[in-house]
């Protein structure tokens, strides 16, 4: 069995989470940049959104292609560009 996907939950950073008309545009840019940077590390951002009924404000799903190594290196090197904090990662194992 290998880790195929990871779900990452977190709180949206304060600079993205404010009441303005451009908030969604800014979030789209931040998550687009996250996806582009992730691809350079062998990950694929499959989706991002806002989980309902949870304490967390953001959820991101990455395809890690069977190994957590690229995921761990990506977060180690790119922690500052993440659009969220208080990260919790849930690996999804596939046969």
84: CATH:
3.30.70.100
> 19 vs 77, which has greater pLDDT?
77
Q: At CB < 8 A and 24+ separation, what contacts does 35-43 make? A: 37/74, 37/78, 37/81, 38/62, 38/74, 41/70, 41/71, 41/73, 41/74, 41/77, 41/78, 42/70, 43/70, 43/71, 43/74
How many domains does the chain fold into?
A: 1
Question: Across the chain, what does the average pLDDT equal?
Answer: 88
Predicted local confidence at residue 27, as pLDDT:
83
pLDDT of residue 90: 94
Structure confidence by residue, pLDDT tens digits, 24-45: 788 888 899 999 999 999 999 9
- Measuring CA to CA, which residue among 26, 62, 12 is closest to residue 41? 62
Domain with 67 in it = 2-94
Rounded Cα–Cα distance for residues 6 and 48 (Å): 12
**Within a 10 A sphere around the Cβ of 85, how many other Cβ atoms?**
13
Mean pLDDT, residues 39-66: 91
- Whether residue 18 is predicted with pLDDT greater than 80 in this model: the reply is no
């Amino acid at each position: 069995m290998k880790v195929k996907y990871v779900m990452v939950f977190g709180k949206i950073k304060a600079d993205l989470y404010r009441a303005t008309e451009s908030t969604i545009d800014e979030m789209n840019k931040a998550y687009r940049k996250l996806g582009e940077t992730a691809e350079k590390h062998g990950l694929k951002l499959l989706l991002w959104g806002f989980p309902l009924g949870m304490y967390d404000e953001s959820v991101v799903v990455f395809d890690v292609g069977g190994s957590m190594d690229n995921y761990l290196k990506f977060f180690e090197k790119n922690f500052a560009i993440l659009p969220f904090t208080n990260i919790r990662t849930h690996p999804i194992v596939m046969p």
